[in-house]
Structure 1
């Protein structure tokens, strides 16, 4: 499971704010955000060293970002299957998403710019496209699902705290993103850790806070520490 919370306030000086947590097999190798893709000059994001894509890409010049989450549904045929990590690169670069999605496993792709955010969904059979409303939306692997415990808890926490001004600081959002002290095995937890029978660990690997405005792009990133607690953010852009 990954989580992306989008705050869209068109009347605000900073219309788009994003709090995002990536979950993955913790042994899967990756590198922190940078300009990793020569074919997409100017794009920033962390690179997945297995498939070469990303789960989150930002084009600071275009004030555009894109995020992909695994979805649920029918998997693509093994032969010819393409990595979902391609999709944020295309979307953030303003390039078209393939019309035929049958070579991709199910996903949710959120693309955000100064005009708002749109979610493209694919369950292996049906393609959907939804404009996110004003206010807060939290997307998890079941989509815009406010009844899911993790999404419900984060949505309530965001609504209960002042919307930050990232030109100054992120307010309480770093504490929210670090997990608020909730046990990492709790269904409400934003920061996860799970151990399977063979000790294969799955959990949250990184945190992103992102702001898009006509005058500001702020992209802060932190790997998730092994032990609960503060996750120091690094400014990427």
Structure 2
């Protein structure tokens, strides 16, 4: 139940903000953001140690002629790829930030997904419903948008059949849309020297959970036990701010997966 919030304000000095929360089984091993991929030497992101890809990749860029870019992956619902031909979705963010998109790929080899592509000029969502479907691409409007496993604003053509999962996504989206909407929008400067708390202001405690218990239906930082030894929950939080001069990328393990405060660090 990964979630991405995208705030776009063209008049701001930092026009695009991206918050990404990764939810996964606790036993799936991962490594914090770094330059993990020799084939993508300038890309930085967290490493999925199972499949070798990532849930979020960032190309820092060098300025207006080579703008920064990020791609955030969320699993979707629909028709799964043929088992013998399936490729890992974790390579998609790396390809997207390198090539500027994924339309040139044979997407029938990938399970359903939603991919958020963001940069200083704006953001868009690419949604794939699985083998035999059509790649849909939507530009995000000014304001706050929410991308879920059910797609942009939960309105993808292919959505979960689980009433529980649907209700949890709706509760999370509604609570945090209201919280961000009632809170001054921060302007973290890509080249600034502020620490994470200073840079993100009133948003920082909200993205760290906003005081909700991890089993609250609306929890952003969640932890759920299924009774058979499997634990599902939030593993990490990524905060990105895009401006004309580049990108600021802050990362922290979710409080249920690591230190509540001390784990935050600036990546770029």
* TM over 0.5, shorter chain: yes
Deviation at 1:95, TM superposition (A): 4.8
SS at match of 2:184: coil
SS at match of 2:144: strand
Conserved 8 A contact 1:175-1:230 = no
- Deviation per CA, 1:113-141: give whole Å up to 9, x if none: 11111100011123211001111111111
More helix by share: 2
Q: Distance in 2 between matches of 1:229 and 1:151?
A: 25
Does the alignment pair 1:157 with 2:163? no
Conserved 8 A contact 1:82-1:103 = yes
Q: Distance in 2 between matches of 1:44 and 1:126?
A: 29
What is the TM-score normalised by the length of structure 2?
0.84
Conserved 8 A contact 2:72-2:115 = yes
Conserved 8 A contact 1:181-1:228 = no
Q: Distance in 2 between matches of 1:173 and 1:106?
A: 31
Q: 1:113 aligns with which of 107, 119, 133?
A: 119
Equivalences, count: 237
Deviation at 1:184, TM superposition (A): 1.1
Q: 1:143 aligns with which of 147, 151, 155?
A: 151
Deviation at 1:96, TM superposition (A): 4.3
Q: Point out where structure 2 has 5 or more consecutive residues left out of the alignment.
A: 62-66, 155-168
SS at match of 1:80: coil
Does the alignment pair 1:132 with 2:140? yes
Q: Distance in 2 between matches of 1:117 and 1:195?
A: 34
SS at match of 2:108: coil
Q: Point out where structure 1 has 5 or more consecutive residues left out of the alignment.
A: none
Does the alignment pair 1:234 with 2:265? yes
Does the alignment pair 1:181 with 2:203? no
Q: Which moved more, 1:212-221 or 1:49-58?
A: 212-221
Please list, as runs of the form range in 1=range in 2, the aligned pairs for 1:1-237 lying within 5 A after superposition: 1-61=1-61, 62-97=67-102, 98-124=104-130, 125-145=133-153, 148-167=170-189, 169-226=199-256, 230-232=260-262, 233-237=264-268
Conserved 8 A contact 1:178-1:229 = no
- Deviation per CA, 1:55-83: give whole Å up to 9, x if none: 00111113111100001111112111111
Q: Detail structure 1 runs of 4+ shifted over 6 Å in the superposition.
A: none
